[in-house]
Amino acid sequence: MQHSDILSRFGLTSSTGAGLTARSPVDGATLATVAETDPALVPDLVANAARAFEAWRTVPAPRRGELVRLLGEELRAAKEDLGRLVSLEAGKIYQEGLGEVQEMIDICDFAVGLSRQLYGLTIASERPGHAMRETWHPTGPCLVISAFNFPVAVWSWNAALALVCGDPVIWKPSEKTPLTAAACQVIFERAVARFGDAPAHLNQVVQGGRAVGEALVAHPGLPIVSATGSTRMGREVAKLVAERFGRSILELGGNNAMIVAPSADLDMALRAILFSAVGTCGQRCTTLRRLIVHKDVAPTLLLRLKAAYASVPIGSPLESGVLMGPLVDSDAFAAMQTALTKAKAEGGVVTGGERTLTDRFPNGYYVTPAIVEMPGQTDVVRHETFAPILYVLTYETLEEAIALQNGVPQGLSSCIFSTDLREAERFLSAAGSDCGIANVNIGPSGAEIGGAFGGEKETGGGRESGSDAWKAYMRRQTATVNYSAALPLAQGIKFDL
């Protein structure tokens, strides 16, 4: 299928104005030029969202859920087209593009159920003839900033919840993936048209980079800022939002590890390592970056891993059978090479990591995945490089392995492969992994939407998606009603004239 055919499925053309250039990591080709939003327009966009909020917050939550149900239906209908566009614009293999759209459908289903379950509490009052309750109300417009590597799912995790919670959304996607965002807006508008009486501007897409992002983040009319991206970005955003007492939901960098214990099922561990270290060309926030292997199993596992790495099919992510597509751009390739050079200087032994397929794709950045055997957890290992580099460390005791796992600034995802119940439970205990996600006999990537997603430390502390993550999109009101004819004060205080 031609690039232009995929765009036309969403009524998009190869030029909507000057500003951003959408290029495909597949071959470096320009897909389209997209009009960039002028930061001077931010106050108008926020005013639109404020008007939408006034109307939307009074629509009953189950009715708001109906809009998200329709969005889920439209996403089902557009799954293949959107999955292909994700593949084309972000460079992930088509299967993963489809998986990303499925994740959007799943969160819509979750949010529809949630729209009838935004439960508060009734609380026993200490005063006679009084009732206390806690209610969750819509908060206001929610700003969503997303990264290139999950160009559509991150929007849906936030938007599906925010919309049922009564909050309109302003979405600033990555400047590297403007087309998938434009396509999502088209899909959203299809749902709005079927819904019938939704207020205008429930979801607005702002195209551009850091400048327009900063203008949005600084605006006091956006009480919730959900930002996904690098720790560098999160540090800047968090400061600005805190200054105006807004609420941040931060989903930042990860440096995810797997501990492989002596009792591990090595066949399973091997498959899990491959998917989570090589999948999406190492460009997932939950990508496996550190393999912490018991010294007794390390030689066998490494031998098998190197053989498996050598047979990973690398190529155009749009072709079937390919498991590893390209890096997003030349900057990502340069960052990978810098990390590998540093790793060597710090005592690492590197296998793989070279550029490949340059004949076929001179402007695409394809690499072989790298395994780096490290003498210890040096500086480069503690840093997130967004590329398929797997650092291998060895350990002797579980305490040592857990200390290595926790000994990095990031705290997103972690896992242990072990068939020893004691080890597995220790890993999950309060003295075990310090990450937001901790798995047993499952790799660190590929979370389901039903659980809360996010991580600690430099990963930012935010939670999105399932469980009670919805509470971050609502404001809590504690209300006490006096249905007696007296006015007793709490704590028995006497204050009578």
- Active-site amino acid positions: 251
CA distance 479 to 392: 55
Q: List the structure tokens of 308.
A: 């498996």
Number of residues assigned to the chain: 497
Where does this chain bind ligand NAD (CB under 6 A)? 145-150, 172, 174-175, 209-210, 213-214, 217, 228-230, 233, 236-237, 251-254, 285, 384, 386, 412, 459
CA distance 463 to 472: 8
Helix, coil or strand: residue 460: coil
With CA atoms as reference, report the closest residue to 369 among 492, 276, 447, 444: 276
Q: List the structure tokens of 131.
A: 């009732």
C-beta of 209 vs 451, nearer to ligand NAD: 209
Burial 432-447 (b: 16+ CB within 10 A, else e): bbbbbbbbeebbbbbb
CA distance 54 to 232: 34
If residue 21 lies in a helix (H) or strand (E), which one and from where to where? Answer: strand 19-23
Q: 247 forms bridges with which residues in the sheet?
A: 224
Helix, coil or strand: residue 294: strand
With CA atoms as reference, report the closest residue to 354 among 339, 377, 341, 370: 370
**Residue found under tokens 């690398």:** 314
HEC states along 321-353?
CCCECCECCHHHHHHHHHHHHHHHHCCCEEECC
> What's the half-sphere exposure (Cβ side, CA atoms, 13 Å) at 448?
7
Q: List the structure tokens of 160.
A: 């599906």
C-beta of 212 vs 298, nearer to ligand NAD: 212
**Residue found under tokens 């890993």:** 427
CA distance 306 to 309: 5
Angle at 66 between CA 63 and CA 70, to 5 degrees: 160
CA distance 15 to 222: 30
What pairing do the DSSP bridges indicate for beta strands 452-453 and 464-465? antiparallel
How far is C-alpha 141 from the chain's CA centre? 20
Q: 453 forms bridges with which residues in the sheet?
A: 464
CA distance 123 to 479: 10
The 8-class DSSP code of residue 314 comes to B
Helix, coil or strand: residue 207: coil
C-beta of 248 vs 368, nearer to ligand NAD: 248
